[in-house]
Structure 1
Amino acid sequence: MEASLLVVVVVATALIFDFTNGFHDTANAMASSIATGALKPRTAVALSAVLNLVGAFLSVEVAKTISGGLVDDARITPAVVFGGLVGAIVWNLVTWFVGLPSSSSHALFGGLIGATWISAGADAVHFAKLVDKILVPAVAAPLVAGVIAMTGSFLTYRLVRRARQDVVGRGFRAGQVVSASLVSLAHGTNDAQKTMGIITLTMITAGMLPAQAGPPTWVVVSAALAIALGTYVGGWRIIRTLGKGLTSIEAPQGFASDASAATVILASSHLGFPLSTTHVCSGSIVGAGVGRRAPDVRWGVAGRMVLAWLVTLPASAGVGAVAGKLSSTGVVGTVAVAAMGLAVGAWIYRASRRNPVNAETVARAEQADEPESPVEPASAPVTV
């Protein structure tokens, strides 16, 4: 396969990954605001899509980290990047199907690292940068977001415990629209850049861009559009898990969790850390649940989620390694990888139609729940 044609295939595959990243991670921004009734499901994903689009144009620092830091671009080819992308897409689809909020970002990193390792050797992976830019933030960011959200929830309940519940509830739901919007903006700023970085890396490996180059304008625009479209489609299965599966979210908690997540993600984007927004938002939701008077965090669900986090890098790396090795053998290998990826995607889609989860399903689930109490009763002491 000619190099230019292979680059086109890789760019298209990267945009497909960007699309899956959008619908996989919609829940990060909007699950809590949907759960509390601050936004209707369709309105929430439409707003999130627009703000993801805007956020993608705010920075390219994360894109530069990916295109010029994780692997040795002089020792890999576009075919290797293609294999890594297939590994990431397959993992995204699997975790979406089972409703687990795993990290699209780590799926991408795992797929790229696995494909590079098996095709060019372990020394082609920059492990120091991997630890510094990805693994340490992966552990620290959800903990920081969780502590901020827990503190914010605790203080919020303390401050408004004697106020009228209906007034406070309306106020915090309005605040959630703002805080959830900031999370969507932050998600576009951080996650769209990962696809920009992968496309830029592909063009560097093909000799179309010099080493350390930033993403061209058309790459920024196409990545922004792809993640916005995916966000609008809505990852309803994961929205259901984050909105009701982890904890019963009240408006003050939702505001605290969204505000803490947006702060952490935006700060990390400015510093060039390609964070997992899934980890950050999930950590903030758990923290907000712990911060209320009577915590009701469903630790079993949280445990399964953390297990998925731990498995994501090695699992996507394994798939990426096989796909990268096979696609680097030539045209037949690349076609075989593409065919297998399409087959897995088609099977998961068909299986998902047997038990569909959509905006109407989520809305019915919210209506079936008991009405929330926006704040704790005045007579009840508030403790963590």
Structure 2
Amino acid sequence: MIQMAKKMEKEAIKSSGIDFIRLGFALFFLVAVLTYSFLSSGSIPNNMFLAIAALFGAYMAMNIGANDVANNVGPAVGSKALTMGGAIIIAAIFEASGAFIAGGDVVKTIKKGIIDISAFGGNADPFIWAMMSALLAAALWLNFATMMKAPVSTTHSIVGGVMGAGIAAAGFTIVSWSTMGKIAASWIISPLLGGVIAAIFLYAIKKTIIFQNDKVAAARKWVPIFVAIMSWAFVTYLTIKGLKKIWPSIVDVLVFLPDEKKPSFLIASVFGLIVAGAVYIILKKTVANRATNLHNTRDSINLLFTVPLIFAAALLSFAHGANDVANAIGPLAAINDAVITGGISAQAGIPIWVMSVGALGIALGLALYGPKLIRTVGSEITELDQMRAFSVAIAAAITVIIASQLGLPVSSTHIALGGIFGVGFLREYLATTGPKEILVKQQTNIEDEKRVLKAYSSELKRLEDKADKTKADYERIVDLYKAIDHEEDKIKRTKKHIKSIEKVKYVKRDAIKKIIAAWVITVPASAVLSAAIFFMIKGIVL
């Protein structure tokens, strides 16, 4: 007992030491951003607002890294395709690369047009306070959600923050409620689409490979096809979502492309098909060579999906960095523009230092605090192996493509988690409906055993009521008691087996309830917090 207490004390000291180091790195980054932004804008009026906004932006970026990035690499870690350290390194590099390379030169200062900036009447001060409030509120909510191990949408967090501060500054009429309705719809659309597509792909893999007698031969035929489909989806997704902001520069280099401001679905699909064809040819030969060392087991086939999963995690991280960096730096870019120009514009240029705050903050937040959410996404919702994680990854890319073409609002966080729910519920469905014939047979056996038991009980009662029992009667009574015990035991065991099959739960219900609750309250929680911060800033300034 004493040794156990000493061991627990030692672990607690070690854990607190690591937490202190993490906090030290985080504070160093925040102080560095605050100092640089203040010193570099010394000649600008209201530069203190800009410095504090930069601090909030850095804090927001770190929380995006700690919470949202887990959705990109969590499945790969949960399936053991990547180690935690490997996942953090890959995600940090590609998140930062996506932000720097494809993060764009201009972002909309009001995320998704949820408020009307004309309501500020050209007055920059309340606009600056509103954007600062939105940043801090969204960051605080993300920080809380990460502590509670609840993966939430960073986009919805900043949307709620902007909405709450906007209402506090100019009333409810400032909000575009139709846009907010679309965002609310995404709470249902995103996880449902992600879950259905992930389940379809996992079932297709099971049907074509795992349920076959010769799994190795089936894998040689189908694995290159599935990975080629994934390649098409990711290249198309990356072209549409990740490269749209630098597309004019690409068109200038590749002059044969149509002169468009952003890539069309057709162009992105052609790019995807070219890459998919090359991947199929290469992988067909690679899988054929590896097939000689494979065993006819599920675990052996799973190994073929490891490398595609690593690429998927990298590409998802790149696209996420390109798109979601705006959640951290969009309001900061707006504040920077308002402070420098003294006015309010719908769009603002992004200085390199602002982009750096977003990119480096996301990477640092992931490295310091990302593992908690990565474990939640990767292993605490349902058990993932490589083919299940592969299905989740491909669902994320295809869902975004479908949604973008249909004009549906979706959240990458909700899509990824919906995909995990989808593969988990598919496992439950197959576990309960697969052995249906066995269940029917066992239920029939129970009825037969009950009839036998009833016959034994009737015979026993008749013999026990008999007045003049013979030696044979007593021997038969003893045999009947034994037979009745045996039949009751058989019925009990069969019922227990049926119950265990019918109650298979591969998705942890508590995790689902917590995550869905966090999704639903993200926008209102951020909004209320942002409004309170706005009034506090206004009270201090005035």
Q: 1:80 touches 1:116 (CA, 8 Å); kept in 2?
A: yes
Q: 2:69 touches 2:366 (CA, 8 Å); kept in 1?
A: yes
Higher helix share: 2
Work out the CA distance in 2 between the residues paired with 1:181 and 1:263. 16
Read off the aligned partner of 1:136 and give its amino acid letter. A
Q: 2:31 aligned with 1:31, yes or no?
A: no
Work out the CA distance in 2 between the residues paired with 1:298 and 1:213. 43
Shift of 1:180: 1.8
Work out the CA distance in 1 between the residues paired with 2:112 and 2:525. 24
Q: 2:259 aligned with 1:126, yes or no?
A: no
Q: 2:208 aligned with 1:159, yes or no?
A: yes
Work out the CA distance in 1 between the residues paired with 2:306 and 2:374. 18
Q: 2:73 touches 2:374 (CA, 8 Å); kept in 1?
A: yes
1:336-347 equivalences in 2 (<5 Å): none
Match for 1:6 among 45, 49, 53?
49
Which residue in the other structure is 1:53 paired with?
96
Work out the CA distance in 2 between the residues paired with 1:68 and 1:305. 24
Question: CA 1:244–1:78 in structure 2 vs 1: closer, same or farther (change >3 Å)?
Answer: same
For residues 116-145 of structure 1, the C-alpha deviation after alignment (integer angstroms, 9 at most, x for no partner) is: 11122112222233334x333343122211
Work out the CA distance in 2 between the residues paired with 1:142 and 1:22. 21
Work out the CA distance in 1 between the residues paired with 2:405 and 2:358. 19
Question: CA 1:201–1:271 in structure 2 vs 1: closer, same or farther (change >3 Å)?
Answer: farther
Which residue in the other structure is 2:108 paired with?
64
Match of 2:68, SS state, is: helix
Which residue in the other structure is 1:303 paired with?
513
Question: CA 1:266–1:17 in structure 2 vs 1: closer, same or farther (change >3 Å)?
Answer: farther
Q: 1:246 touches 1:298 (CA, 8 Å); kept in 2?
A: yes
Q: 2:452 aligned with 1:317, yes or no?
A: no
Q: 1:179 touches 1:262 (CA, 8 Å); kept in 2?
A: no
Question: CA 1:152–1:234 in structure 2 vs 1: closer, same or farther (change >3 Å)?
Answer: farther
Which residue in the other structure is 1:358 paired with?
none
Which residue in the other structure is 1:375 paired with?
none
Shift of 1:277: 2.5
Which residue in the other structure is 1:281 paired with?
416
Which residue in the other structure is 2:246 paired with?
none
Work out the CA distance in 2 between the residues paired with 1:202 and 1:278. 27
Q: 2:153 aligned with 1:103, yes or no?
A: yes
Read off the aligned partner of 2:102 and give its amino acid letter. L
Q: TM-score, normalised by structure 1?
A: 0.78
Shift of 1:2: 5.2
For residues 60-105 of structure 1, the C-alpha deviation after alignment (integer angstroms, 9 at most, x for no partner) is: 4994273572223341421222122221122111111111112222
Q: 2:150 aligned with 1:137, yes or no?
A: no
Structure 1: gaps spanning 5 or more residues: 333-384
For residues 148-183 of structure 1, the C-alpha deviation after alignment (integer angstroms, 9 at most, x for no partner) is: 101011101111113123431110122211222222
Match of 2:384, SS state, is: coil
Match for 1:180 among 273, 288, 313?
313
Q: 2:137 aligned with 1:87, yes or no?
A: yes
Read off the aligned partner of 1:249 and give its amino acid letter. L
Q: 2:456 aligned with 1:246, yes or no?
A: no
Which shows bigger deviation, 209-218 or 93-102?
Answer: 209-218
Q: 1:60 touches 1:214 (CA, 8 Å); kept in 2?
A: no
For residues 251-288 of structure 1, the C-alpha deviation after alignment (integer angstroms, 9 at most, x for no partner) is: 11100101211343477689998853221211111112
Question: CA 1:210–1:323 in structure 2 vs 1: closer, same or farther (change >3 Å)?
Answer: closer
Q: 2:362 aligned with 1:227, yes or no?
A: yes
Larger radius of gyration between Structure 1 and Structure 2: 2
Q: 2:117 aligned with 1:73, yes or no?
A: yes
Q: 1:19 touches 1:226 (CA, 8 Å); kept in 2?
A: yes
Match of 2:56, SS state, is: helix
Read off the aligned partner of 1:325 and give its amino acid letter. F
Read off the aligned partner of 1:280 and give its amino acid letter. I
Which residue in the other structure is 1:113 paired with?
163
Work out the CA distance in 1 between the residues paired with 2:169 and 2:197. 42
Which shows bigger deviation, 144-153 or 78-87?
Answer: 78-87
Work out the CA distance in 2 between the residues paired with 1:70 and 1:270. 21
Question: CA 1:193–1:264 in structure 2 vs 1: closer, same or farther (change >3 Å)?
Answer: farther
Shift of 1:204: 4.6
Match of 2:399, SS state, is: helix
Work out the CA distance in 2 between the residues paired with 1:244 and 1:257. 13
Work out the CA distance in 1 between the residues paired with 2:69 and 2:108. 24
Quote the sequence identity (%).
26
Work out the CA distance in 2 between the residues paired with 1:150 and 1:34. 19
Q: 2:392 touches 2:420 (CA, 8 Å); kept in 1?
A: yes
Read off the aligned partner of 2:359 and give its amino acid letter. A
Work out the CA distance in 2 between the residues paired with 1:22 and 1:269. 24
Q: 1:34 touches 1:41 (CA, 8 Å); kept in 2?
A: yes
Which shows bigger deviation, 81-90 or 230-239?
Answer: 230-239
Question: CA 1:270–1:7 in structure 2 vs 1: closer, same or farther (change >3 Å)?
Answer: farther
Which residue in the other structure is 2:64 paired with?
21
Question: CA 1:215–1:61 in structure 2 vs 1: closer, same or farther (change >3 Å)?
Answer: closer
Q: 1:83 touches 1:115 (CA, 8 Å); kept in 2?
A: yes
Q: 2:110 touches 2:346 (CA, 8 Å); kept in 1?
A: no
